[in-house]
Amino acid sequence: MASASAGLSVRPGGEIGPTPYAVSVLDLVARIPAGKVMTYGDVAEYLGSGSARTVGMVMAKHGHEVAWQRVVQASGRPAEPLVEEALAILRAEGCPVRGEKVLLAEARWDGS
């Protein structure tokens, strides 16, 4: 069974759905404004629990439910395998991008 902290545990009845932690990750990601991003670590830090890795696991499993492209690696690069798709969406939203990286100094959202 996957880690419950990553939001991937099996629910009673056998269905797999987001745990309360995963819901908190998804709720925060849904609040990131167009043209802005948070890193996986930013999300964990803002929530006060988990890690970049657990946020990444939540996003891999449930990210399609929110604007997934707005969560990037600490380097500013979107996660594989959807780098080009994420960058295209981010550019269309007005997010500052150079090459394959978001310019975090300009685009990082602090949650306020």
Supply the pTM of this predicted model.
0.84
The C-alpha angle with vertex 72 and arms to 108 and 96, in degrees rounded to 5, equals 50
Instruction: Identify the residue whose tokens are 């975090």.
Output: 104
Instruction: Identify the residue whose tokens are 């759905």.
Output: 17
Question: Which pLDDT score is estimated for 87?
Answer: 97
Q: Which tens digits make up the pLDDT trace of 47-83?
A: 999 999 999 999 999 999 899 999 999 999 999 889 9
Q: What percent of the chain has a predicted confidence (pLDDT) above 70?
A: 86
DSSP bridge pairs for 39 = 72
Question: Which pLDDT score is estimated for 53?
Answer: 96
- How many CB atoms within 10 Å of residue 45? 16
Burial-class residue 47 by CB neighbours within 10 Å (0-12, 13-18, 19+).
Answer: middle
Tokens, residue 1: 């069974």
Q: Where are the domains of the chain?
A: 17-101
Phi, psi of 100 (to 5 degrees): -105, 25
Which CATH code of 3.40.50.620, 3.30.70.141, 1.10.10.10, 3.40.50.300 fits the domain covering 17-101? 1.10.10.10
